[in-house]
Structure 1
């Protein structure tokens, strides 16, 4: 099979490969395309056409349908598989509908042209095909450029914090430029926080998504309690990053249930909230979140860590985060060795209100978890100290006007406690109101 090429002296507009077993057809196509400054390659059969394609860069292939050995459908299907960017046209002199449809389906041809062809129509098809090909190439170029730009943006975001700090120092005297930089930083702030949270989980020995679940629950509790949008945001960010201090702990402590910690490991472990605060403090936007992170392991009764703060001395955001964090930790087996289901974890949180947790926070948490108020489950009556009798059981925690816990829910009142409450009222000048269960006096603890 012969291979021929024709090209005008000036630069070619495109390369066209014509494949036909009839030399006169190839000669006619070569004459037609030479006038349009196209580079023309000819092959007398499918095998020769493949050989040309393996050596040359071809924009368009025009193939006859009826050829010996390998027909046009099979040849164009091969071109589609090996050189998909090359446009494919079918030249047929037969009214063979099935063969043409097969070529369209298998070879995914751009157009088919019948013999004899109209030269102007043929040239118009070629121009349209080349325009389409140019558009496809430009599309691929733009897509590649977009991918490169997106990659550059991702690299920029990875170093945005450092670059913003450097820019801020340079433009300290130019407030307007500083504000623009700040707005760009805010646009990527939460994305960066979520990335840090994911990295913390990879090092911190917790299940993937732990920080996000804690943060989402803490945000819902804060919203339920009516906190401002800025306070809710700080609680959410602190929830995402509350475990970041654990990245400084040795491997043997990560993921170990707290109930199994012994000796020096207890002291080392209890430093992680403080370390978390230190890691976050350099960022102005994270100052309040850092304060929440430091205090989220404090207990309402003052027996927590790292500072032993109690009651309302603990930041409100930290009291919210403590409930959300422990609810998740109980289900993951991070507080005790046994993993609990959500209902049991909820019950334990509720049972610890006034001890581990702020009763107001637990109330909001309970509303979210069950869709009803905690008071709905307990028949109770409000009484003054003078109305109390031994054996009565508190239905709610008794707090002082400053928020300090005086008695916890389920406490059984005895003679001695009634006298102490009366003395407290006399000395403080404040009348106490206690909520008493309306039925039953059996409870886990009493003061008699």
Structure 2
């Protein structure tokens, strides 16, 4: 067996920070003061390689844009000549070509944007070194398994009575390898969530989606007892579903998809394929990348990129579309008007069988009700009515806001005749159409039945 194990690290992990701006290096050095690391600094790619030639380095964090040798080139060289060294890219610019080069050639472990958050930076370094430790442990176990197998071959020729004992030892080693591999998979999930922050940073806080979609998908997986592999793939897909949008302009990133013009709309329809292409080079991401590729397919076959229809769309993609649309409708990324959670679910229910899997929709609404305290639609006593369907005695189940966001009525308000007339008049004046979420007391329900 020719794969060589790295030397076991007994001292403090050595971190090499590379940036042509000394102020950045000084800030990082202050941040890491008191941490259990030995920190080395370099102001260029050439100086960094000189340091690495003199001593082993556990982790290199390099700025992307540097004169002479950029960060992606440096990390690609380190990947080729020092593959055991963990590689992180740090930059203040969203440059898709640099990202792709760093992923494909430098095989970077993480990507951090400037300005960074100190706690997130420290967490990223800890997780990266923990991942490295687990990979070294995996290689150690692989070597140990190979060594044990060679000993077994020698003993089998002369000492057959030892076969059972050695087989048991090998099984234990295999179990340990399985555990180590599962830990590596879990580390990938964590890594994708950290990487998803890159997409979020391109949007203002009110437009960010990834964290909420990840949490919603996790709630669905937990409530339905989905297996660990499926849950892991769905979580990674939720974290990186929009990574293909990183090359868009800031304006296009925040424009509702329904308002995009011809050229931008074609570019929008290409983002699932772009996202899949970025992730397919990473073997543990292949299944998640397939879910991302098809998450904009529609149940009636009018979606993209492949116009898949019905059950031909992977289950995970159907679920991801529900979660993505539910959150993006509330962020104003699909329609010009931002919806509340109940309005978004009414929209989803309206398009069940056209955009969404009809057998998943009601189940998804129940999951949203378990996940979000402000969802009332799952309550069978709540009705969604137009203003002209309202009658005195009904009770608002949630706040009613105008299209411009102004609060019209608070939840819990009991409607009367004059109030209903004012709502109808205000709706006509604003050229709006409100969906009113109300509870109907039994006596009002009885009166309606008698009238009908």
TM-score (normalizing by structure 2): 0.45
Q: Based on CA coordinates, which of the two structures has the bigger radius of gyration? A: 1
